Structure 1
Amino acid sequence: MDQLDPSVLPPGIDPSQVPNDIDANDLASFYYSCNEVTPLCPVEATTMGYYPTRGINIFFVIGYAIAAIVTLFFGIQKKTWSYMAFIAAGSALEMAGYSARIPLTDNPWNKHAFETQIVAIILGPTLICISIYLTLKHICLSLNPALSRIRPHRYPFIFVPLDVSCLFIQAIGGALAASAALNNYEMVQHGNRCIIAGIVLQVVVLMFFGLSALDYYIRVRRWIKSDEALPEALELWKDKQFRMFVYAVTGAYSGILIRCIYRIVEMAGGWGNPIMQDEPSFIVLEGFMVLIACLLLACFPPGILFPQMAARMAARPSWSWLSKRKKDHQVDIEQQSQPEQGSQKHTFSGDESGLGESQAKDNVSPASITIERANKEKA
C-alpha cells in the first residue's frame, strides 16, 4: 500500500483500511462498485458527498407537480398545445429527478436513483426553454413584426433546433457517464465533457435569444413613443395583463440562465468536486431557479394574459411551426387578418418595411378566427 497516495482517499479513510489488493489505479473503480454506506464506502466518497435532505426534495416534487398540473389545465383549456407540452414535459422531468433524489437520502450509493436524477434534472430545463423561445415570435407579431431584425416566424426555426441540439449533447453525455460509471473512469470524463458542452451551448443560445429580445424591445419602445405607432399596438403595450406575461417570461428566462451558468461551474471541476458536493448551492441555483421558472410560466399563461398568442396557436395545429399549411387556408387567413389597405404599409419609416408575406399569414387575430368559423358554418 506504499504506492497509494492518501490524498486520493475520501475524508476519514486511512490507507491501512483499504484492502491490500487495491492499488491507486483501481481505487476509482472500487468506489464505483459500492452499493451502500460502509466504513470503506463512506458517504464522502459518493459523487454528491452528502445525504440529500429529504424534506426539500419532497417540496420540489410537489412544486413541479403543481407546475405541470397548472400548465396542463390552462394549456388544454386555451389550446396552447406546443407551449403547454414543453413546460409540462420539463416539469415532469424535474419531478422525476427530485423523486429519484428521495431514495438517495437513505443510500447515496443508490446508482439507479443517482443516474435518474442526473439525467432528468439536467435535461428538464432544456425543454422548458423551448416554450420561452416560442413567445418572442408571438410578441413580435402582435406588436410590430417589421421591427424585428429576424422575421418572427423564423424564431422557432432558429432557437428550437439549437435547443434540441443542446438536449441531445447533454443526453449523450449523461448516457456515457451513467453507462461507464462502474468500469471506465475515462469514459465518465468524456460524458462529463459532453454535458458541459451541451450546457455551454445552451447558455450561448439563451444569450442570443436574450439579445434578440432586448433589441426588439428597444426598437418597439422607440416606435411606440412615435406618432407612427398603431392604436392596436399601443393598447397591447399598455395592457397590464400583457406586461405581467412578459415579466413572467423574463423572470423564467433569467432563472434558467442563472441555473445554466451554475451548472457549467459545477460540472467544470469534474464529478465529486467541492461545488457539486455543496447541497445549499444546488438547492438555490438549480432547484429553486428552475422551479420558479416553471411556476411563473404555469401561473401566468398566455391563454389568460396574452390572448393574441393563444388565439394564434389555437387556430392551427400545435406542430404548425414545423409544417406548411394548405395554400387555400393560408390565403383565407391572410386576407382576413390584413388591415385596411394602406393602414400598415405606410406606417413604418427608414429601414422598417411592411409585413412580409410570411409574417402576414402568421398574424392571426381572434376576430379573424371568428370570421373564419362563421364562413365555414355558412358553407
Structure 2
Amino acid sequence: MNSDTGIYLYKPSLGAAIIAAGVFGISAAYHVFQMVRKKAWFYNPLTVGACMMTAGYVFRYLSAKSPASLGLYIGQSLLIILPPSLYAATIYMIYGRLVLFVAAPEASIIRPTRITKIFVCGDVLAFFMQAGGGGMMAQVSMAKTGQTIMLIGLFIQLFFFSFFLIISLVFWKRMRSSPKAFQVVQHGKYSWSALLKLLLSAAVIIILRCIFRIMEFGQGHDGYLTSHEVYMYLFDTVPMLVVQVMFHFLYAADVFGASALDMSGDNHSFINLYERSA
C-alpha cells in the first residue's frame, strides 16, 4: 500500500470531491423541497438516493484526506455506487402511474399494477448484491468474491433496466398510434409524453453508467478504469448528476396534477381514474 495514496492507485482529488458533494447536496435539498411541497411521496427513493450520493462524496473527501482508512474507502464507494438503484425505483413507480394516468394499461407489455412490484424487487436484489460485493472488495482476502458478487448485481440491474427500456419504448410506440394518446386531458404543466421521454432518457443514462461500472469492476482493482479517477467522474458522477437535475425540471406532479396525487403516494387515485374511464 502506497503511503501517499493508501488504498487508491492514484492521489484522489479533494477539490473534485468537494464540488461533487456541493452540487449533489444542492440537488438533494431541492428534491426534498419538491417532494414535500407537492406531496409526491413516491419520489422518496430518488430523494434518498440523492442524499446518499451527497454523503458519498463527503466520504470521498474524507477518504482522500485519509486514503489508508478502509472504513472511509468502503463508505464512499458504497454511497456512490448504490444510489442509481434508488433512482431506478422512482422511475419504475412513475411509469406505472403514467400508464394508469393515460388509462391505457393494454399498451404496456406488463400490467402497470405489477410494474413496481416486479422491477423494484429486481432493483432491491441488485442493490443488496452491489452493497455486499462492494464491502467485500475492499478486503484483500475477499476481493475476488466481492468483485464477482458486484458484477452479478450490476448485470441484474442492467438486465432489469434494459427490459424496462424496451417496455417503455413499446408503450410509447403503441400510444403514438392509438386514439387514446389524443384523448388524455392535460392536468398539469407538462404532457404525459414529455414525462415518458424524461423516463426514457434517464433510463438510457443509467444503463450507460451501469455498463461503465461493469467494465470498471470487470478489470479488477488494478484495472485501467479503476486506476484513473477522471473516468469515474466523467462516466458516473456527471451522468448521475444529470439524472438528478433532469427530475427537477419536469416533475410528475406537473403532469398528473395535484388532484391525481393522493396523500399516501400510492396508485389508488390512478386506479380509480382508470376504472371511471373504462
Given the two structures, how large is their TM-score scaled by the length of structure 1? Answer: 0.67
Matching of residues 49-68 of structure 1 within 5 Å: 49-68=9-28
The answer to whether structure 1 residue 201 and structure 2 residue 156 are counterparts is: yes
Match of 1:166 in 2: 126
Q: Is the 8 A contact 1:174 1:195 kept in 2?
A: yes
Q: Which has the larger radius of gyration?
A: 1
Deviation at 1:248, TM superposition (A): 2.9
**Identity between Structure 1 and Structure 2 (%):** 24
User: Deviations for 1:31-58, whole angstroms, at most 9, x for unmatched residues?
Assistant: 3xx7x42xxxxx3xx5531122222211
Residue number in structure 2 paired with 1:27: none
Q: Is the 8 A contact 1:68 1:298 kept in 2?
A: no
1:220 aligns with 2:158: no
Change in CA separation of 1:280 and 1:221 when aligned onto 2, cut-off 3 Å: same
2:252 match = 302
Shift of 1:188: 1.6
Letter in 2 for 1:49: L
Q: 2:83 aligns with which of 103, 121, 124?
A: 124
Match in the other structure for 2:37: 77
Match of 2:50 in 1: 91
Structure 2: runs of 5+ lacking an equivalent: none
Q: Which residue is 1:9 aligned to?
A: none
Name the counterpart of 1:338: 276
One-letter amino acid of the counterpart of residue 216, structure 1: F
Per the alignment, in what secondary structure is the counterpart of residue 270 of structure 1? coil
Deviation, 1:241, is 4.6
For the aligned residue pairs, the C-alpha RMSD in angstroms reads 2.5
| Residue identity in the other structure for 1:208 | F
Residues of 1 paired with 2:165 and 2:273: CA distance? 33
Whether contact under 8 Å (2:216, 2:226) holds in the other structure is yes
Asked if 2 retains the 8 angstrom alpha-carbon contact of 1:75 and 1:303, the reply is no
Shift of 1:336: 9.6
> Which position in structure 2 is the counterpart of 1:317?
264
- Offset of residue 247 of structure 1: 3.3
Structure 1 residues 132 and 66: alpha-carbon distance in aligned structure 2, compared to 1, 3 A threshold: same
SS at match of 2:223: coil
Question: What's the CA shift string for 1:157-197, capped at 9, x where partnerless?
Answer: 1101110010111111123234xx2xxx3412111111111
Count of aligned pairs between the two proteins:
275
Unaligned runs of 5+ in 1: 1-30, 38-42, 345-379
Higher relative contact order (CA 8 A, sep 6+): 2
How far apart are residue 141 of structure 1 and its match? 1.4
